[in-house]
Homo-oligomer: A and B are copies of this chain.
Amino acid sequence: MATISYILGNLFRPTNWFLASYASSDSDIKALSLDLLSAKGEVSGVTIARQILNQYRMLDEAAKLAYFQFILADMDFNSSDVKTALNAYTDKHDANRYGQFIKSTQPKWRQFFRRLNEAPDATFDLVNMRADLLSLIPSHRELEVIDIDLRDLFLSWFNRGFLMLRPISWSSPAAVLEKIISYEAVHEISSWDDLRRRLEPSDRCCFAFFHPAMPDEPLIFVEVALMDHLPSSVQVILAQDSDVTSVEDMDYAVFYSISNCQKGLAGISFGNALIKTVVEELKHEYPRIKHYLTLSPLPGFTKWLAALTAVEKDGELQDVLTLATDHIGLRKPLAAAYLSLAKRDNGMPVDPVARFHLSNGARIHQLHEDADTSARGMKQSLGMMVNYLYHPDELIENHESFVNDGTIKADKAVKENAQKAKPYLSL
């Protein structure tokens, strides 16, 4: 049944659709797929596309695999055509030849996915289709070429210029909120009451990006606490009975959880844009807030510690992980080293969260012990958390030096801590 939100939803929605003959056909999905690329597809593409998507949903994993292999086999491009077209264009640079060349490089599946998308509510189906494809690729590498085009198409469709920032609040539709509960990836939401504690108080907020063609499906969301002090742990933020900070006292906007929602949009990055858009939104709404920063996990810290060569301590060879577990005083230095010194072969930090924020131009601001004492927090990072600070004036410079030569910007105290960890590193 409809509600206001539903009616509103429809205002976003591409169209009200009344497809005459949805269920009529029992044609095979492969036959339908070829029809969609034929003259029939030009007249009745929308109806055929809807039938394909409906049938696709019913397929089991094996049938999905077979279907993608059919696409791979029957809808590829022809590389000798490309060569001919490229040579023609190289001979003479005119638009016609260029057009022929571009056309020759496009596999038929590109056109196929575009036509599929013309059906009502198809975009979400296509996102889920790509999620299936991505899960099949590790065991069927040959399918990866399909994804290269699909991803390129999604990069166009989910261009940041088309995304809508929407606040998520206790007045949001339950149908959206239940997705927030299920997609939260960092600090699990245990119940509707837990969710409510994160949304309803006037010093908490949450924002998500949506795409107009998927109005009920958040793409990514961020949870924010507006505080009068820099919180030393996530427990402080998630506490049940905390006082509400009044608008006049808000100094810090703490981004304490960012979660991607759609597996089918892997590799289409929204996080950087979301953080910056939310910062602009909050600046406008709460001009007094001075500091925009995250409270972030160090997801690979424990694993990294475990992989370190044992060090000599008190005359014995000792595990660094065991030492860090036993001696709280060691955690900060080791965490600082983990974030700022531990690098992959390509010079980027080992920690994925650090890679993300540093690449956005943020700096490592402060480390906190006992900051995430949940089971997962203790297991992944011995309870350590870190703030990445987004300072408008240094974002570009930080980003450039990080991207160009791997320079990591960090507060002095963090750097000093990293130095203290040196004896434990076999770097």
Contact = CB atoms under 8 A, between A and B. Distances in A.
Contacts of A86: 79, 82-83, 86
Nearest to A152: B102
A11 B1 contact: no
Interface stretch (A60-68, A162-170, A368-376): A162-170
Contacts of A352: none
A133 to B, nearest CB: 12
Given A3-B166, A172-B174, A102 B99 contact: no
A135 interface: no
Interface in A262-278: 272-273, 276-277
A13 to B, nearest CB: 7
Interface stretch (A88-96, A235-243, A342-350): A88-96
- How many copies are assembled? 4
Given A15-B165, A18-B284, A157 B156 contact: yes
Interface residues of A, number: 105
A42 B4 contact: no
A293 interface: no
A399 B39 contact: yes
Interface stretch (A114-122, A330-338, A379-387): A114-122
Contacts of A142: 93
Interface stretch (A143-151, A182-190, A305-313, A409-417): A143-151
A399 B105 contact: no
A147 B82 contact: no
Contacts of A169: 1-3, 6
A90 B311 CA distance: 51
A390 B231 CA distance: 46
A19 B141 contact: no
Contacts of A392: 20
Nearest to A121: B161
A172 B14 contact: no
A280 B20 contact: yes
Interface string A36-57: 0001101110100000000000
Interface string A197-238: 001001011100000110010000000000000000000000
B3 A168 contact: yes
A10 B152 CA distance: 28
A86 B84 CA distance: 12
Contacts of A173: 5, 170-174
A99 B2 CA distance: 42
A313 to B, nearest CB: 43
B95 A3 contact: no
A163 B284 contact: no
A11 B330 CA distance: 50
A155 B114 contact: yes
Contact of A39 (B122, B149, B175, B404): B404
B141 A94 contact: yes
A12 B43 contact: no
A102 B174 CA distance: 42
Contact of A281 (B16, B152, B155): B16
Given A8-B11, A161-B213, A172-B173, 7 more contacts: A1-B168, A79-B86, A93-B142, A117-B159, A117-B161, A118-B160, A212-B213
- Which 10 A-B pairs give the minimum distances between C-beta atoms? A95-B144, A212-B212, A156-B156, A1-B205, A171-B173, A117-B161, A118-B160, A15-B165, A3-B169, A43-B399
